[in-house]
Structure 1
Amino acid sequence: MDDSSGAVTARGPVPADLPDRIRHYVGGEHVDSVDGATFDVLDPVWRTPYVQAAAGKAADVERAVASARRAFEEGPWPRMLPRDRSRVLHRVADLVESRDARLAELESFDSGLPITQALGQARRAAENFRFFADLVVAQVDDAYKVPGRQLNYVNRRPIGVAGLITPWNTPFMLESWKLAPALATGNTVVLKPAEFTPLSASLWAGIFEEAGVPTGVFNLVHGLGEEAGDALVRHPGVPLVSFTGESRTGQLIFANAAPHLKGLSMELGGKSPAVVFADADLDAAVDATVFGVFSLNGERCTAGSRILVQREVYDEFVGRFAEQARRVVVGPPHDPATEVGALVHPEHVEKVLRYIEIGRTEGRLVAGGGPPDHLPGGSYVAPTVFVDVPPDARIFQEEIFGPVVAITPFDTDADALALANGVRYGLAAYVWTNDLRRAHTFAQSVEAGMVWLNSNNVRDLRTPFGGVKASGLGHEGGYRSIDFYTHQQAVHVALGDAHQPTFGRATPHGTHDEREGR
């Protein structure tokens, strides 16, 4: 086997110029862990180590937070005009766009995402920076006048060191989603990326240096969530934490951040329904729901992993969906024809396969069911479809986060709403119907932070992103991100002679002196 740079091996092409090791980035320098600890990073296709990464712990987080704190208190970044910060962030976007092919190559190799989808995520990362670079300049704040008496306005200030903890699915894009607004508003940051996928995160240091981000504004600590991530959450010098990940981890972060009264934004798990009514455009609904659950390898929080179909069209929909799912191309992540690549890590593959075995006892399997026959070994799972799934089934209730879908029939609108709301999650929902009144009524009743009507997941960066119930706490996106990453100080200015209530002018016995008859 030839493992030289750029060679094609049994695991597929190995990207050229892979690093010898992945290190932290603190105060403008690439550094090892204080204790020298490392961990293996696995190639998701063949599940073998291809590099070692520095394993951060509390001492490494302490060093990174100190760097970020110095940059915030003494450096120019928080004191720059928004226009000047905007120019730097536009240069970041330009650099990301110019390197999108390289970013996609590394992301695909590190995460198992199909190369075409990884390229789309790299371009979205650039757009995130461009969006917030523009928004921070165009931003307006509230001002209120009481004519002749008072002027009241809002003054925004960056908060300090932002702790950013990101997941392993589409890691580079999701890192940009947090980095862009945190930096645009003048904060400094410590980023803790997912330990499964540290490779693309390490590219941020060079991009920020070249764009002109001052030293210490961006800091990066790799490591396990229970070590580096927990230390970042608990650090008293980090006043706000933005986290994307599973709901159980979110509960731990909530508890560990509580003693410090930190600001928290948490986008957590999902088990999102796609509701298909009998009057829907079935061609569009089938295409959208197949894409919605199997794109990004099914490793997406907003996946429509529960499909609820009205009984009049249930059999037709199930037949068409299963046939199309069987035709989804599962293959090596580097192949442009691949639509579902390799799952990210052996631990995750085992979890998904366990749920498939559970599903065999809960529903009727009509597609997939395990690794595809043409790809022995590796971390591949064929798109798997269970139908006739009852609402109390585990594969209906629990987040699988893989290419597995549960399809369930319903009769009435009320039935559909009860099924849609009958899980602990509430992130996204998708509704397919040609009845406009029904669509809007359902959208206002479904327990979901985001709803798409007759559409797949198309994001508008101006709108809030977040969920309800176990799917999250708070919202980011657009001005909600600006709100989260800034203090909003109300300033009140008196105009002219303001009425002042008077205390303390009276004598000890009243408002006039009775002894003098006054």
Structure 2
Amino acid sequence: MYDASNITLPDGKLFVGGEWETGTGAEITSIFPADGSVNRVLHGASRADGERAIARAIAAQADPAWRGLKPHERARFLYAIADGIEANIDRIAVIQSRDTGKTLSETRALAGSAAGTFRYFGAVLETSDEDLTVQRGNALTLSVFEPLGLVAAITPWNSPIASDAQKIAPALAAGNAVLLKPASWSPLVSLELARIVEEAGLPKGLFSVLPGAGREIGNLLVEHPDIARVSFTGGTSTGRMLARQAAEKLMPVSLELGGKSPTIVFEDADINQTIAGVMFGVFSSTGQSCIAGARLFVQRSIYDEFVPKLVAATKRLKVGHPFDPATQVASMVHFEHRDSVAQYVTMARAEGAEVLCGGEAPDGDEYKNGAYYLPTILAGVGNDARICREEVFGPVLVVLPFDDEADVIAQSNDNDYGLASGLWTRDFPKAWRVGRAISTGTVWVNTYKQFSISTPFGGEKDSGMGREKGREGMRAYMAQKSFYVDLIGAPHPWAGAALEAS
């Protein structure tokens, strides 16, 4: 068991426009879901705290000391933040594990990913060119990109530091000020990131961390006239409400929402490789992932062979404490969320689902005080069952048979979500056909949950709108401005005789 006793948690003060202040909003209690102990009690941000952060951000973003920096000069701040994250990976990992219940192996990887994100967008700044467009008249035409001003980033509790970086890094690279609202269940690691950003020397006021109630601080960030863009990752119902609010002020948004991603196993798939990938795709992160492969379609010809092997392997997964290096499935983020997942399984049973494994909290003293739930596989329901339609956001997999390509494409697309999908086959042309036919933002072939900051990510249908990451991820936080520069120095002929008469 990893000894984390020497790691102190953030003290609970908020980072409000570059100043550490005690929040004046509602009380937030961060718990360690592995045993129910309290990490920290803090006060979240109130509307007044948010207004103060916005005022400081406006001044900081307009200051020529920031706004006038050349791209390679802004890049230095992103590199410094990346260095700071890498120097504190163990500390960040423990704080995030305490906040979310994730394994240390995962939270270390997420911290490393966050550092890589800042470094990548620093490199994007170093190598991004503006556009000299094709001349079609007597003017030199070009297009430049400028910061929007103030950007709000609203992030979820399941992978906070990686999600934070995915929004903060491109927005800062673009020259904006950023106001981050992390989820109330996981505020501490975002506050730790604020300390690192401050130590990197980012000009004061350009970054704030404002955990708090969505109805108060969230609504302020969406509705405030000086916020020029919102990037949101979270639930679909909240995303719809945010989009309506944004439409009132004609503000651009990016929305990365829920998913009910299909994973498809064809009869020619490598069985062992596929079982490992399917389990990782749905049970890693204790299933608390928007892209979890929660609907498993297995070709009927191998269904009776494949499913028992998958169930047997799933039963062998190590469920345990987040600090135990052997743990594969740790505690869930909160007891309320664990109970929500359990209710979905109860509902599935009522729909006629057969529980092939799991379906309950584990027994034993090591689990009794924590928010644990066993990896669960369900069968015996059709694709129209609620358990196949709604996002559970937990370690619950539904297995369904299919007959052929047309059948599985139809079943995969018969869902309101379209975030991700996985295909398992040795036949690449088949994978290409099926992958192109599925309504989804990401297709993994013979792998799952692999990410690259250089590759755009987003969803279709109720899974959201817009894309993040990649070189264009920075442009999403910029306004494009076109210039026409006269090349001939002569009066426009339209003036004609009127000019001569004068």
What's the TM-score once normalised by structure 2's chain length? 0.95
Query: 1:268 corresponds to which residue?
Result: 257
How far the C-alpha of 1:48 sits from its partner, in A, is: 4.1
> Aligned ranges for residues 31-50 of structure 1 at < 5 Å?
31-34=21-24, 37-50=26-39
Match of 2:8 among 17, 27, 44: 17
Paired with 1:499 and 1:462, the residues of 2 have a C-alpha distance of 48
After TM superposition, the structure 1 stretch with the greater mean CA deviation from structure 2, 25-34 or 427-436, is 25-34
Within 2, Cα distance between the matches of 1:268 and 1:111?
Answer: 19
Query: Which residue of the partner structure matches residue 218 of structure 2?
Result: 229
Residue 417 of structure 1 corresponds to which residue in structure 2? 409
> Which of the residues 16, 41, 45 maps onto 1:26?
16
Q: Counterpart amino acid of 1:72?
A: Q
Tell me, yes or no, if the aligned pair for 1:148 and 1:495 is still in contact at 8 Å.
no
1:209 to 187, 192, 198: 198
Alpha-carbon distance, 1:496 to partner: 2.6
Residue 427 of structure 1 is matched in structure 2 by 419
- 3-state SS of paired residue (2:227): coil
Q: Partner amino acid for 2:7?
A: A
Match of 2:323 in 1: 334
Deviates more, 1:373-382 or 1:182-191: 373-382
Question: RMSD of the TM alignment (CA)?
Answer: 2.0
Bigger CA drift: 418-427 or 204-213? 204-213
Deviation at 1:471?
Answer: 0.3
- Aligned counterpart, 2:149: 160
Matches for 1:170-249 after TM superposition, within 5 Å: 170-249=159-238
For residues 275-316 of structure 1, give each alpha carbon's deviation from its aligned partner in whole angstroms, at most 9, with x where no partner exists.
111111222111101000011111111111111111011111
Question: Which secondary structure state, in structure 2, belongs to the residue aligned with residue 30 of structure 1?
Answer: strand
Partner SS, residue 229 of structure 1? helix
Matches of 1:98 and 1:7, distance apart in 2: 19
Residue matched to 1:294: 283
Paired position in structure 2 for 1:406: 398
Q: Which residue of 1 aligns with 2:484?
A: 492
Matches of 1:301 and 1:504 in 2, distance apart? 64
**One-letter amino acid of the structure 2 residue matched with residue 161 of structure 1:** L
Matching of residue 114 in structure 1 with residue 116 in structure 2: no
Number of aligned residue pairs: 496
Indicate whether 1:467 and 2:459 are aligned.
yes
Partner of 1:372: 362
Greater mean alpha carbon deviation, residues 489-498 or residues 247-256: 489-498
1:50: Cα distance to partner? 2.9
Unmatched 5+ stretches in structure 1: 1-5, 507-518
Once residues 205 and 435 of structure 1 are traced to their aligned partners in structure 2, the CA distance between those partners, rounded to angstroms, is 47
Measure the CA separation in 1 of the matches of 2:39 and 2:447: 40
Label 1:27 to 1:436 Cα distance change in 2 as closer, same or farther (>3 A).
closer
Structure 1 residues 387-396 or 141-150, which shifts more?
141-150
CA contact (8 A) 1:432 1:454 kept: yes
Aligned partners of 1:162 and 1:240 also within 8 Å: yes
Following superposition, the deviation at residue 142 of structure 1 comes to: 2.6
Structure 1 runs of 4+ with >4 Å offset: 497-501, 503-506
Cα distance in 1 for residues equivalent to 2:382 and 2:493? 67
Does the 8 A contact of 1:149 with 1:497 survive in 2?
no
Q: Distance in 1 between matches of 2:164 and 2:2?
A: 29
CA shift at 1:358, angstroms? 1.3
Secondary structure at 2:494's aligned position in 1?
coil
Is residue 397 from structure 1 mapped to residue 389 from structure 2 by the alignment?
yes
Superposed displacement of residue 262, structure 1: 1.2
Distance (whole Å) between structure 1 residues aligned to residue 141 and residue 309 of structure 2: 60
Q: 1:310 to 1:503 in 2, by over 3 A?
A: farther
Match of 2:391, SS state, is: coil
How many angstroms does 1:14 deviate by? 5.1
Q: Is the 8 A contact 2:46 2:216 kept in 1?
A: yes
Deviation for aligned residue 1:15: 5.7
Correspondence for 2:450: 458
Kept in 1, the 8 Å contact 2:354–2:378? The answer is yes
Which residue in the other structure is 1:509 paired with? none
Structure 1 residue 480 corresponds to structure 2 residue 469: no
Deviation at 1:105, TM superposition (A): 0.9
Aligned residue for 1:449? Answer: 441
Write the deviation string for residues 181-240 of structure 1: whole angstroms up to 9, x where unpaired.
Answer: 011111011111000001111112221122111111111111122221122111111110
Q: Which structure 2 segments of 5+ residues have no match? A: none
Cα shift at 1:146: 2.5
Cα separation, 2, equivalents of 1:103 and 1:264: 29
AA partner of residue 138 (structure 1): T
Matched AA of 2:401: P
CA positional deviation for 1:137:
1.1
Q: Give identity over the alignment, percent.
A: 39
Which residue identity does 1:443 align to in structure 2?
G
**Residue 453 of structure 2: SS of its match in structure 1?**
coil
Residue pair 1:271, 1:306 contacting (<8 A) in 2 also: yes
Contact 1:109–1:334, Cα closer than 8 Å, also in 2: no
Q: Are residues 1:73 and 2:62 paired?
A: yes
Q: How far is the alpha carbon of 1:16 from its aligned partner? A: 3.1
Q: Which has the larger radius of gyration?
A: 1
Which amino acid is the alignment partner of residue 481 of structure 1?
G
Which residue type is aligned with residue 370 of structure 1?
Answer: E
Counterpart in the other structure of 1:343: 332
Deviation at 1:503?
Answer: 6.1
Query: Larger deviation: 405-414 or 229-238?
Result: 229-238
CA deviations 1:420-460 (Å, max 9, x no partner) are: 10110000011111222211111111000111122222222
Is residue 273–residue 429 contact of structure 1 (8 Å, CA) maintained in 2?
A: yes
State how far apart, in whole Å, the 1-side matches of 2:208 and 2:231 are: 15
* SS of match in other structure, 1:239: strand
| Equivalent residue, structure 1, for 2:120 | 131
- Structure 1 residue 335 displacement after superposition: 0.8
Q: Indicate the SS of the match to 1:146.
A: coil
